């Protein structure tokens, strides 16, 4: 999405209104939220032919964010409807939709409810404005926790405050018991939290607003009041979580929707993985240890035509060659000492009708590589100790933390097997290149582990979050989960402070902002190319320039 949206002043009779024209592309809800929040003007979404196809409001975006995730891709048919009127038409006296004024084939104006309100007020009449009844109120703050916007419903709930009473004030001085400013500091979204405001228990959502890899503000939403509805929602949430735990114990596969990550780099990989899932081709997933390669393999399986079949995984580096062969091909009873009576099906057989995930495929010996190649070509397996040929219909998804092409050139991996596996390649970025995802990952796993251990969920202080964001994460997401496990179980009290973190986060070197050295290192790697450096760091080029100037 091109974030350089176009602003135009439209004139309709004696009335004028500014609007934001945005070209529609398949973007996630976080991107749309950023666009809507950054403009005080109506949004007109156009197609590739510059024709208006719909509109978006903050209330609509907020509701969709609550119902789904920030990674959800908005579809064209979900846009709010608009109506088109000709410039020569009479000024409408009543409407329910945003009107786009057309002169020939050009958009020359918009007529909003606010415009109609002004017209009606001049005649002494009052126009009834419809506000989304699912929400009591919406407030937006900037990175300095200053209120930049608060809708009428929220101000009414707070006692009929005027806009001038709230805009520009610190959110903590306006809203009781708010934690919205903490979301700006940590970047961790909070959904379905209970907050007491003016003596009433309310359910609220708090979502960070990201732009170019940095938090620029947050949105807070009041959902409803009334304990009956509150208990219903909490009961539904508890049931959903119990179901999720049960599915996890049963080995349910992950989907792209459940994968945590909204950075541009991880979204690109998700997009490619979705396309790969629609094919029958073999896939190689490359990435450092701990980046979540198996999650992508599960996501591909879940979206494929084989989703109803089994997902079978094996780590090729976890077994010596003779045991790996029996694990993959299976064996007949009595084929070797300690062989199970009646024999055993191998992974290739188990994956019939589904997907076989070969993790660390680069660790197989040359002889094992030759055997794997033959099976991939014939889809025929012979168990150890048997002569019977067994046919199995499976799809291969392989993963490695090494560059297979380089191994081929070095003679360590068979070229014919490389081409058999390497039809589609996905590269999962390391965590240090998508640090924007760290707050979401921390929030998710802190809540998950707190529930698993039956203890109170802990909050993370701003200083602790800074150390998490500075850290290089050689162990990637797996290392992050281990760090969260430590702080959840070993930290007493609230919140988690910098001194509570395990090694190496508490080393003195990490308490100094090492951003400059990181920028220098990446720039050196890409030969000074700032565009490539920004992409490698997972930030916008403008952000890189700003950091270099600082």
CB 141 within 8 A of CB 148: yes
CA angle (28 as vertex; 446, 535 as ends), nearest 5: 80
Q: What pTM, to 2 d.p., does this model score?
A: 0.64
Q: Number of structural domains, the chain?
A: 5
- Give the structural domain span for 224: 137-232
Annotate 276-294 with b (16+ C-beta within 10 A) or e (fewer).
bbeeeebbbbbbbebbbbb
User: Domain for residue 250, yes or no?
Assistant: no
Same domain, 309 and 436: no
Same domain, 365 and 473: no
Which of 121-125, 268-272, 339-343 shows the lowest mean pLDDT across its residues? 121-125
pLDDT at residue 382, rounded to an integer? 92
Same domain, 420 and 437: no
190-197 sheet: strands from edge to edge: 147-150, 137-142, 214-225, 200-211, 190-197
Same domain, 376 and 450: no
Same domain, 327 and 413: yes
Coil, helix or strand at residue 301:
helix
Omega cis (within 30) before 479? no
Same domain, 189 and 275: no
Same domain, 150 and 189: yes
In this model, does residue 73 exceed pLDDT 70?
A: yes
DSSP structure class, residue 239: H
Q: At 96, is the pLDDT very low, low, confident or very high (cuts 50, 70, 90)?
A: low
Q: DSSP alpha helices (H): ranges in 332-397?
A: 347-350, 366-378
Same domain, 269 and 285: yes
Question: What pLDDT, in 10s, does the model give residues 276-314?
Answer: 999 999 999 999 999 999 999 999 999 999 999 999 999
User: Domain for residue 372, yes or no?
Assistant: yes
Q: At 58, is the pLDDT very low, low, confident or very high (cuts 50, 70, 90)?
A: confident
In this model, does residue 325 exceed pLDDT 70?
A: yes
Task: Say what percent of the chain tops pLDDT 90.
Answer: 31
Same domain, 289 and 409: yes
pLDDT at residue 418, rounded to an integer? 95
In this model, does residue 248 exceed pLDDT 60?
A: no
The label of the residue with tokens 């409001």 reads 57
User: Domain for residue 279, yes or no?
Assistant: yes
User: Domain for residue 226, yes or no?
Assistant: yes
| Conformation bin of residue 27: beta by default, left when phi > 0, alpha when psi is -120 to 50 | beta
In this model, does residue 133 exceed pLDDT 50?
A: no
Distance CA 396, CA 76 (A): 34
Same domain, 150 and 296: no
In this model, does residue 74 exceed pLDDT 70?
A: yes
């Amino acid at each position: 999405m091109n974030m350089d949206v176009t602003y135009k002043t439209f004139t309709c009779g004696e009335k004028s209104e500014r609007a934001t024209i945005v070209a529609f592309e398949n973007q996630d809800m976080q991107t749309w939220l950023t666009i809507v929040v950054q403009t005080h003007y109506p949004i007109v979404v156009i197609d590739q032919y510059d024709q208006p196809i719909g509109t978006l409001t903050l209330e609509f975006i907020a509701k969709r964010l609550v119902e789904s995730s920030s990674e959800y891709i908005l579809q064209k048919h979900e846009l709010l409807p608009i109506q088109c009127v000709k410039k020569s038409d009479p000024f409408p006296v009543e409407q329910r939709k945003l009107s786009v004024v057309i002169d020939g084939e050009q958009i020359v104006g918009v007529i909003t409810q606010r415009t109609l309100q002004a017209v009606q007020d001049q005649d002494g009449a009052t126009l009834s404005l419809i506000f989304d009844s699912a929400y009591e109120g919406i407030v937006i703050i900037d990175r300095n926790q200053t209120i930049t916007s608060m809708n009428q419903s929220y101000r009414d709930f707070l006692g009929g405050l005027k806009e001038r009473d709230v805009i520009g004030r610190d959110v903590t001085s306006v809203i009781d018991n708010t934690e919205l400013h903490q979301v700006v500091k940590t970047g961790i979204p909070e959904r379905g939290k209970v907050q007491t405001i003016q003596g009433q228990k309310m359910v609220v959502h708090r979502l960070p607003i990201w732009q170019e890899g940095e938090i620029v503000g947050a949105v807070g939403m009041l959902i409803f009041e009334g304990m009956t509805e509150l208990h219903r929602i909490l009961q539904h949430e508890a049931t959903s979580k119990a179901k999720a735990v049960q599915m996890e114990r049963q080995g349910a596969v992950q989907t792209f929707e459940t994968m945590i990550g909204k950075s541009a780099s991880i979204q690109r990989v998700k997009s490619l993985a979705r396309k790969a899932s629609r094919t029958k081709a073999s896939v190689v997933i490359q990435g450092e240890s701990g980046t979540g390669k198996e999650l992508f393999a599960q996501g591909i399986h879940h979206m494929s035509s084989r989703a109803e079949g089994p997902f079978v995984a094996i780590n090729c580096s976890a077994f010596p060659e003779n045991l790996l062969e029996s694990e993959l091909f299976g064996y007949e009873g009595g084929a070797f000492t300690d062989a199970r009576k009646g024999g055993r099906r191998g992974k290739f057989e188990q994956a019939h009708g589904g997907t076989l995930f070969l993790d660390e495929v680069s660790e197989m010996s040359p002889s094992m590589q030759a055997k794997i190649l033959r099976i991939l070509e014939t889809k025929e397996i012979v168990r150890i100790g048997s002569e019977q040929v067994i046919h199995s219909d499976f799809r291969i998804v392989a993963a490695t933390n090494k560059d297979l092409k380089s191994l081929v050139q070095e003679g360590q991996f068979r070229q014919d097997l490389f081409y058999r596996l390497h039809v589609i390649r996905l590269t999962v970025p390391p965590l240090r290149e998508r640090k924007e995802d760290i707050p979401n990952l921390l929030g998710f796993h802190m809540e998950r582990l707190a529930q698993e251990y039956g203890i109170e969920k802990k909050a993370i202080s701003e200083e602790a979050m800074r150390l998490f964001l500075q850290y290089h994460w050689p162990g990637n997401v797996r290392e992050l989960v281990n760090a969260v496990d430590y702080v959840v179980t070993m930290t007493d009290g609230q919140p988690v402070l910098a001194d509570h973190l395990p090694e190496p986060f508490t080393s003195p070197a990490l308490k100094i902002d090492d951003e400059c050295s990181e920028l220098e290192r990446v720039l050196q790697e890409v030969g000074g190319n700032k565009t490539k450096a920004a992409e490698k760091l997972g930030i916008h080029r403008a952000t890189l320039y700003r950091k270099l100037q600082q």
